[in-house]
Structure 1
Amino acid sequence: MPTNFTPSRDIPDLARKVILITGGTSGIGRAAVLSLAEHNPSHIYFTGRNAQAGAEVITEVRTLAPACPITFIQCDLCSPRETIRAALSKHFNHSSRLDIFIANAGVMAIPHGLTPEGYEVQFGTNHMGHAVMMKQLRGVMARTADSNDVRFVALSSVGHNMHPPGGIQFETIRTADALGKWANYGQSKLANILYCKAMAKRYPKIMSVAVHPGLVRTGLSKSIRAESMVMSWMSWLMSSMYKSPEEGVYNTLWAATTPRGELTTGGYYEPVGKKTAGAKACSDEALADKLWDWTEEELKDMEEL
């Protein structure tokens, strides 16, 4: 268990590694892009909704690591699956490789709504958006894993503990307001953990882990502080506990780059590198299988690369 993980010192040379990071234009995702770029990867791809923000990150990378090949993919995770598929297909094909997929992007406790494909917006963004990407890319990752260390790192949250009774209420996923927005958030973050567990079972060559970044000062935490007087007061009390994105990314970077033997596939880790069981539902193999089967049925019209 790492006690003083320092990215600049502890991330190894990433020569030949191809990396994909979602939500790389701000917060933890941006911090991950900048940190990994300094360790000689073969290529970094990162997604985001804002092309201008993407261009600014590329400028930063070219200052820090001029030799690092980097590509921005404009993509909103709540977009229709065909839009996500088309965005990825421009850069990944049957002959591609992908060594590290960091599913970082997400939303938290936003107002009730549905994605264009009719999913509750937090579940649709935090789980389904990444599942669409994984359905398309897991063949590429599996082929890369035949002779390389390949990893899927999903950002979950200790907020998964706020999941509704039963863990995931599949019957309400296409209803915007069946649950409170915090229960919807907890359900989506539990899904991130369970999906990693299901991936580990079906693709054992791919190291699949979920991580909690800790309390981090990002756009997500700002939305909590603005939500109500009570939440603002609680946030003020906890302000000394908040990390910067540059510190909040440590658990992600550790999971993506630490020696493979320090990880357990399907595991859930709190900062930094502390394997924990999480809520009882995190260990529910039947629920993980149900989520996998439900997701596969939803995406049955999609093909792997």
Structure 2
Amino acid sequence: MSSLAAFDLFNVKGRVAVVTGGSSGIGLMISKGLIQNGAKVYLAALSSDPIDDVVSELNRLGRDSGGSAEGFVCDVSSKKSISQFAQKVSQKEQYLDILISNAGIRRDPPQACNVLTATLEELQNSMWSIEEKDWEDTFRVNSTAHYFLSVAFLPLLVAAAEKQTSSGGKGRDEGRGVIVITSSCASMHNVTNVDLTSYATSKAATDHLVKLLAAKYNRFYVRVVGINPGFVPSNMNPVGAEGNIFSSLFDKVPAKRAGASEDMAGTILYLVSKAGAYVDGVSLCVDGGRILLANGQE
């Protein structure tokens, strides 16, 4: 008889995970949640990020649970860098239970304006000021990278899904072999006082990519799911910082607060464990109800 105890349903102890953009923001929250529950995390970040310091912190957090972290440099905007990263992990592991494709960027027009109140000239000048490369970089990191990461790690993910379990089933029955892609609730709204057009468009593309990849990988039951966080403290969302454009919006969110580490970690533990093993090809909005009432950032 299968167990319905929370520990068994949400257990990720001993599982192998990759987290991109794992040294800060949502990626770090996810890494902490996995490691404090006994997972082994391969953290990927840019060379300019404090990888070594973060890995040391994560390994301290994992002492009691048996979780561990190891850091790698990976520029997810580069197909070559992604391939090299996947090869390094493949040399260490025979399977990958969890791929958290999380890294993202935001490029606002350098000539800012209040979109809701700007004159025609101000609006046009602001929107025209963004460079083509800003759009290209945004899509390369926020959309294209998820595609290439999923392809590069597919053999390891399939191996995890097909792995024989102690109960006589396969890893996929326990939620193993899953890709979680970080999108944003920005993909779901239209009205903003700050021009997030390139960012929001890339995230909308990412939402559809979740479905496309899930369909492509269906024969192996490598699950692909997405999360659409709302306001969560990060470099892009400096919640609490002086002059933060988001600070006046929390009263429009039913939860009346920003997202926290528990919200991100809890969502991930559900999606990547036995508890979420029957969830595939969908995106879960984790925004405290913001999209219900607050249209964008007005």
Same fold (TM over 0.5): yes
| Cα distance change on mapping 1:156 and 1:271 into 2, 3 Å | same
Unaligned runs of 5+ in 2: 1-5, 110-129, 164-170, 292-298
For normalisation by structure 2, the TM-score amounts to 0.70
Equivalent residue for 1:151, pick from 178, 181, 201: 178
| Cα distance change on mapping 1:12 and 1:223 into 2, 3 Å | closer
Equivalence for 2:32 = 34
* RMSD, aligned α-carbons: 3.5
For residues 195 and 137 of structure 2, the distance between their equivalents in structure 1, rounded to whole angstroms, comes to: 10
For normalisation by structure 1, the TM-score amounts to 0.68
Answering whether residue 141 of structure 2 is matched by residue 141 of structure 1, we say: no
TM-fit CA distance, 1:110: 3.6
Equivalence for 1:214 = 230
Equivalence for 1:61 = 58
Residue deviations 1:261-292 (CA, integer Å, cap 9, x gap): 5x431111123899x9xxxxxxxxxxxxxxxx
For residues 136 and 235 of structure 1, the distance between their equivalents in structure 2, rounded to whole angstroms, comes to: 39
User: After TM superposition, what 4+ stretches of structure 1 lie above 6 angstroms from structure 2?
Assistant: 7-10, 223-228
Equivalence for 1:24 = 22
For residues 10 and 144 of structure 1, the distance between their equivalents in structure 2, rounded to whole angstroms, comes to: 17
User: Which deviates more from structure 2 when the two are superposed, residues 207-216 or residues 22-31?
Assistant: 207-216
Equivalence for 2:116 = none
Query: What is the one-letter code of the residue matched to 2:201?
Result: Q
Structure of larger gyration radius: 2
User: Which deviates more from structure 2 when the two are superposed, residues 32-41 or residues 263-272?
Assistant: 263-272
* 8 Å CA contact 1:103, 1:155 repeated in 2: yes
Answering whether residue 122 of structure 2 is matched by residue 125 of structure 1, we say: no
* 8 Å CA contact 2:271, 2:279 repeated in 1: no
For residues 288 and 224 of structure 2, the distance between their equivalents in structure 1, rounded to whole angstroms, comes to: 14
| Cα distance change on mapping 1:94 and 1:60 into 2, 3 Å | closer
Residue deviations 1:157-193 (CA, integer Å, cap 9, x gap): 1111257xxxxxxxxxxxxxxxx95222122112222
For residues 7 and 21 of structure 2, the distance between their equivalents in structure 1, rounded to whole angstroms, comes to: 22
SS at structure 2 position matched to 1:105: coil
Answering whether residue 286 of structure 2 is matched by residue 271 of structure 1, we say: yes
* 8 Å CA contact 1:21, 1:47 repeated in 2: yes
* 8 Å CA contact 2:187, 2:203 repeated in 1: yes
For residues 99 and 9 of structure 1, the distance between their equivalents in structure 2, rounded to whole angstroms, comes to: 16
For residues 29 and 60 of structure 1, the distance between their equivalents in structure 2, rounded to whole angstroms, comes to: 14
1:158-173 equivalence runs, <5 A: 158-162=185-189
Equivalent residue for 1:188, pick from 189, 194, 202: 202
Answering whether residue 60 of structure 2 is matched by residue 44 of structure 1, we say: no
Equivalence for 1:82 = 80
| Cα distance change on mapping 1:253 and 1:114 into 2, 3 Å | farther
Q: Between the two proteins, what is the percent identity of the paired residues?
A: 20
SS at structure 1 position matched to 2:149: helix
Residue deviations 1:203-242 (CA, integer Å, cap 9, x gap): 12111111122321211112998899xx466457669521
For residues 106 and 224 of structure 1, the distance between their equivalents in structure 2, rounded to whole angstroms, comes to: 21
Residue deviations 1:18-67 (CA, integer Å, cap 9, x gap): 100111101111111112112222x2101111466211222112222234
Unaligned runs of 5+ in 1: 1-6, 164-179, 277-305
For residues 52 and 103 of structure 1, the distance between their equivalents in structure 2, rounded to whole angstroms, comes to: 17
Aligned residue pairs, count: 246
Equivalence for 2:70 = 71
TM-fit CA distance, 1:93: 5.0
| Cα distance change on mapping 1:144 and 1:114 into 2, 3 Å | farther
TM-fit CA distance, 1:194: 1.2
| Cα distance change on mapping 1:139 and 1:249 into 2, 3 Å | same
Equivalence for 1:201 = 215
For residues 192 and 209 of structure 1, the distance between their equivalents in structure 2, rounded to whole angstroms, comes to: 11
Query: What is the one-letter code of the residue matched to 2:54?
Result: V
TM-fit CA distance, 1:95: 6.7
TM-fit CA distance, 1:195: 1.4
* 8 Å CA contact 1:251, 1:270 repeated in 2: no
For residues 233 and 95 of structure 1, the distance between their equivalents in structure 2, rounded to whole angstroms, comes to: 43
* 8 Å CA contact 1:213, 1:249 repeated in 2: no
* 8 Å CA contact 1:254, 1:272 repeated in 2: no
Residue deviations 1:54-99 (CA, integer Å, cap 9, x gap): 1122211222223433211111222x31122223322225972111
